[in-house]
Every structure is written in structure tokens, then in C-alpha cells.
Amino acid sequence: MTTTPAPRALLQAMFQAAIEAAQPSHCIPPHLPAAPKGRLIVIGAGKASAAMAQAVEQHWPGPLSGLVVTRYGYAVPCERIEIVEASHPVPDAAGMQAAQRMLELVANLQADDTVLCLISGGGSSLLALPLDGISLEDKQALNRALLASGATIGEMNCVRRHLSAIKGGRLAAACHPAQVITLAISDVPGDKLGDIASGPTVGDATTCEDALAIVRRYGMDLPDSLRAVLESGRGESVKPDDPRLARTRTTLIATPQMALEAAAAVARVAGITPYILGDSLEGEARDVGKVMAGIALQTAMRGQPFPAPCVLLSGGETTVTVRGNGRGGRNVEFLLALGIALDGHEGIHALAGDTDGVDGQEDIAGAVLAPDTLQRAWDLAIRPRDSLDNNDGHGFFQALGDSVITGPTLTNVNDFRAILIT
């Protein structure tokens, strides 16, 4: 007879399984290319890039060299590939210098050479090399404006691609005539290659005018230097039909769907039926939380659209439009809105967290929600709706001891949400 774990333990086990499913140590080896006639140069960026580089080193028999950039605290030991740490989500000088060195590393390659590019979520901020005439301070201002705007990740990355000297296919173009093989861990809805780290090795069909439209749509206050680049068309990205990209290919080695399926397997073992609602859900975090609450309540009270016991799983990347002065975080904002809408309904528990271990700008993956969460908050004189209005989900769940802290996970397959209905 199957013994069902306690709700919190089961939710955390599913989250851990989702993270483990995307670990580079077992995702990288099956996708390594054949040895080239010439050199193998390894480059990359993202929160998983150092772990990806380590996996390459451990399974590559021949000579190699290279450079990857990852988030502070996400480095792992490598012998032949240099690991540089830089800031995320707001870029810094270390990321800019690493991006410049990466371009220098791939300059003057030959047709017999191969560039192995290791890309994962977070690469947009970590590869911060602005076009000429744009300062690092301007790029930092851009990232802050994007993070606070409520724009989708696709919209954010469209703007970034047109203000960068390395994104939007420019890195692959710089490698020409060498072969470029990109191994990517997806952290974006729909696994769109151009949105993973803003597509440094992928041709980009969007335009400067598209980027400008996004800026106008969200009323972003950009420095004059950035606006001038977009308005002049000087920031046009490398297009998919560019001949310099003829010898490039990209393979997805880990995706949000894979992570959700791993979590679903844990639920089945525990005797709980999983339902994957989607791996690419988007929208304002608080709105998605309210909608998910409606589905959970219908399931709990009426057995529709799913019979209980069950767990509703979803991935994707929601957004937060910052209105208050709280610490933000889309997963905790989702969870707080979900909890308010559930209003303490018995038998519904939930966890929401980012698989990279970082929700917003906090080194906290997310949080857990229980039927007594709101009451415990009231007992501490914390008003749940006030916390939500202030974008302070992190402060809310931390005060209750319900934060989920993983530390650096060394991977990133986007957000993970699980609603358990017993």
C-alpha cells in the first residue's frame, strides 16, 4: 500500500525532481559533437553554464579551451575552461568584460574549428556587451526598466537583442567560418531559441522598430543613447538568413516540459495523479494565481475538471508589474495571490519556485502555501492583501518561515508551480 507523504514534503520532492531533471551532468554528455579537425572552443553564458562546462570537460577526450560566464555563486571547478562570475539580473562590468573577451576568443577561427556554445537562462544579463555609444550604466538602467515594466520575457529579450553587441545572432556571426554548435537549457515559454539568453547564436527576425514598439507599450523611460540606437536602426540584429549563420545549429538539452514530467513521476509514485496544465504559462503573476485558484477550488469542491486527489503542475514565466516597494519575485507573488483567492480552503497546498533558485532578485527560489497560511499571517499582524499590493511576497512568506531556499541549483528551466489537492 502506498503511503502518501505529507503535503509539504511531497511538493518539495516534486520541485527537487524538476531541478534534478535539468542537471547538466546528465543532459550534456549525449549531445556532445564529434571531434573537429581543428580546434574546439567552448563558450557560454547563463546560470547553468559553469556546470555545463564542467560536464563537457569530464566527457571530452581531446584538447579544448574556452570561457563561460555565470552568476556570482554559480561557478564550479573546471581545468581547461575559464569560469567567470558576473551579476544577474542587473549586469555589471565583469559580465561586460567577459562578453568582450568571448568575442576576442572566437575571432579569426577557421572552417575546421568548432565552437561549442553552452547557453542557459540568465545569459541575457551575464553577456552584457552594449553597442558602441551605449554605456554600462545605460544597460543597467535598461535592465531595471525591463524588470519593473511587466513586459514578457520575449518582449524584454527583443529589446535587449537590439542594444547588444553580442546577442541576436552576433556571437555566432563572429565565429564564422567555424562551425557553431549550441547546447541550450530552455528557461523561456515555448522554448523559443531566440529568447534563451536573448539568442547570441540564433538569427533574429525581429527589428529595431519592434523593440521600440515594446518600449512605447510599457512606457519605459530609457536613456537617450538607447532610444537613439533603436530609432536610427543601428541596433539591427543578425537575421536568420545571414550567410554567417549557415554552419550553426542549436539543440535543446533540457526544457520546462522535461522538468514537469519528472515532477509528475514523483506524484504518481506517491499515489497522486498529476495533471500538467502547460509548460509555458504567462501573464501577470497575481492574475495567474487567481485563475489557478479558481481551477483548484472547482477541482476540490466539484471534482471538475479533475478528480481529487491530484496535483496541478505548470511551468512558464509570469511577470510582475512593480507598483509597491516590496522585494518582488514572480513566484511568491503568484503564490500569495493564489492563497488570497483560496482563502484557507482545506486540502489545498501549493509550491511555486524558480528552478534556478532565484526568484526575482532574491536568492530564494519561492515558497510553500498551506490552508493555514493566511491565518498564521493574520496572527503576526501581517495583512496578506497589503503584502500583495506592495509586491512583497518574499517578506510575507519569510515571516512565516515558508520560503523555499535551494541555493545555486546550477540549472534553469523556468518557474515550477504545483497545486496539491487532497
**Does residue 20 have a pLDDT over 70?**
yes
**Does residue 4 have a pLDDT over 90?**
no
CB 252 within 8 A of CB 184: yes
CB 275 within 8 A of CB 312: yes
Assign 1 to helix, strand or coil: coil
- Whether residue 246 is found in the same domain as residue 289: no
- Whether residue 122 is found in the same domain as residue 271: no
Assign 314 to helix, strand or coil: strand
In a domain, 155, yes or no: yes
Dig out the grid coordinates for 77 from the structure.
571547478
pLDDT computed for residue 12 by the predictor: 98
CB 403 within 8 A of CB 358: no
**Does residue 2 have a pLDDT over 70?**
no
In a domain, 30, yes or no: yes
- Whether residue 320 is found in the same domain as residue 383: yes
Interhelix angle 153-161/136-149, nearest 10 degrees: 160
- Whether residue 244 is found in the same domain as residue 301: no
- Whether residue 168 is found in the same domain as residue 274: no
Mean pLDDT of 78-93: 96
In a domain, 197, yes or no: yes
Question: Which of 208, 228, 254 delimits the end of a domain?
Answer: 254
- Whether residue 218 is found in the same domain as residue 282: no
β-strands 114-119, 179-185: how paired? parallel
CATH of residue 242: 3.40.50.10180
**Does residue 1 have a pLDDT over 60?**
no
Dig out the grid coordinates for 107 from the structure.
575571432
Assign 212 to helix, strand or coil: helix
Instruction: Tally the residues of the chain.
Output: 422
- Whether residue 98 is found in the same domain as residue 235: yes
Of the listed ranges 29-33, 107-111, 220-224, 262-266, the least confidently predicted one is 220-224
Mean pLDDT of 111-128: 96
- Whether residue 399 is found in the same domain as residue 319: yes
CB 195 within 8 A of CB 255: no
Looking up cell 545605460 gives 138
Interhelix angle 136-149/93-106, nearest 10 degrees: 110
pLDDT computed for residue 147 by the predictor: 86
Selection from 119, 64, 71, 117 nearest residue 94 by Cα: 71
Reported as a single tens digit per residue, the pLDDT across 177-235 is: 999 999 999 999 999 999 999 999 999 999 999 999 999 999 998 899 999 999 999 99
Looking up cell 492563497 gives 339
Note the pTM of the prediction, 2 decimals. 0.93
- Whether residue 178 is found in the same domain as residue 99: yes
Question: Which of 237, 254, 271 delimits the end of a domain?
Answer: 254
Higher-confidence residue: 367 or 144? 367
- Neighbouring C-beta atoms of residue 158, cutoff 10 Å: 26
Number of domains in the chain: 2
Mean pLDDT of 252-281: 98
In a domain, 267, yes or no: yes
pLDDT computed for residue 280 by the predictor: 95
In a domain, 293, yes or no: yes
CATH of residue 262: 3.40.1480.10
Reported as a single tens digit per residue, the pLDDT across 334-346 is: 999 999 999 999 9
State which residues form the domain around 110.
24-254
pLDDT computed for residue 413 by the predictor: 95
- Whether residue 265 is found in the same domain as residue 245: no
pLDDT computed for residue 328 by the predictor: 86
In a domain, 249, yes or no: yes
C-alpha–C-alpha distance, residues 147 and 153, integer Å: 9
Selection from 385, 398, 395 nearest residue 326 by Cα: 395
In a domain, 2, yes or no: no
Whole-number average pLDDT of the chain = 96
- Whether residue 146 is found in the same domain as residue 231: yes
- Whether residue 339 is found in the same domain as residue 404: yes
b/e sequence 222-231, b meaning 16+ C-beta within 10 Å: bbebbeebbe
C-alpha–C-alpha distance, residues 322 and 104, integer Å: 38
Residues 6+ apart with CB under 8 A from 143: 89, 90, 91, 125
pLDDT computed for residue 3 by the predictor: 64
Question: Which of 229, 254, 279 delimits the end of a domain?
Answer: 254
**Does residue 41 have a pLDDT over 80?**
yes
Assign 114 to helix, strand or coil: strand
Q: Cis (ω within 30 of 0) for the bond into 91?
A: no
In a domain, 1, yes or no: no
Reported as a single tens digit per residue, the pLDDT across 244-261 is: 999 999 999 999 999 999
Reported as a single tens digit per residue, the pLDDT across 137-161 is: 999 999 899 988 989 999 999 999 9
